[in-house]
Amino acid sequence: MALVRIGGRKTEDGLPAVARSAEAGERDGAQVLSDRADVTAFLARHGIDYERWTPAHAVASDAPPEAILAAYAQEIAALKARGGYVTADVIDVSPDTPNLDLMLAKFSREHWHDEDEVRLIIEGRGLFHVHPPQGPVFAVEVEAGDLIRVPRGTHHWFDLCGERRIRAIRLFQDASGWTPQYTGSGVDEGFDPVCFGPAYVRP
């Protein structure tokens, strides 16, 4: 289940801030949404589709991409029909992935794409920051079973969580449109790439 954190900039000392009022759904000066309906409605207001796609299919942690695409063939076909996507692949990274930092650095600065960023998370976690034209930056932590569609043109950036593991199905209308276009705003530097974790709202 995804979590949304609205606001809450980097702390003065650069360290992750500590809890303020978990009971009020507010921590570190940020508002946190954890209820599925709240998360879905909030993201929809920003043009972002969010759905839970569970129960997920059982696939081994080391299953090759072809096995994952085969297991999720029905879901992929449904998404293609819905969104005009033509191809699907699997992004699979772990701490052992060669040049992982180099790869992550491409996406951890504010950018947009000329096509939708569609991810069905199979394993692991990740953190999208979204910078709407009006209103504050918000963060969306995604985990296994989450489907998210960040529309083309949306300013955003992405980080892995502490375990540096994510495996997700990606869908493309045209893979060439998915090159990151950097804004160069530096807005991303004001936000900690810190995931909330399952304990965030249940301390």
Q: What is the residue-wise DSSP string for 34-80?
A: -SHHHHHHHHHHTT-EEEE--SPP---TT--HHHHHHHTHHHHHHHH
Which residues of this protein are in contact with Fe ion, per CB under 5 A?
A: 117
Task: Tell me the closest approach of the beta carbon of residue 111 to Fe ion, in angstroms.
Answer: 6
Please report how close the Cβ of residue 107 comes to Fe ion at its closest, in angstroms: 5
Burial class (CB in 10 A: 0-12, 13-18, 19+), 166: buried
Question: Are the C-beta atoms of residues 62 and 52 closer than 8 Å to each other?
Answer: no
Name the residue among 171, 40, 185, 184 with its Cα closest to residue 115. 171
Shortest separation between residue 103's beta carbon and Fe ion, angstroms: 12
Residue 110, token pair as written in the block: 């504010």
User: Which one, 116 or 143, has the nearer CB to Fe ion?
Assistant: 116
Q: Which is nearer to Fe ion, 117 or 188 (CB)?
A: 117
Q: How far is the CB of 183 from Fe ion (least distance, A)?
A: 12
Provide the sign of the torsion angle of the four alpha carbons 72, 73, 76, 82, taken in this order.
Answer: negative
Least spacing, CB of residue 45 vs Fe ion, in Å: 20
Give residue 134's region: left, alpha or beta (phi > 0; psi -120 to 50).
Answer: beta
Considering the complex, what minimum distance in angstroms separates the CB of residue 178 from Fe ion? 8
Q: Measured from the CB atom, is 63 or 160 closer to Fe ion? A: 160
Choose between 31 and 183: whose C-beta lies nearer to Fe ion: 183
Cβ-based nearer residue to Fe ion, 46 or 57: 46
Which residue's CB atom is positioned nearest to Fe ion? 117
Instruction: Please tell me whether residue 101 adopts helix, strand or coil conformation.
Output: helix
Nearer to Fe ion, 178 or 200 (CB): 178
Of the candidates 36, 52, 51, 41, the residue with the CA atom closest to the CA atom of residue 3? 36
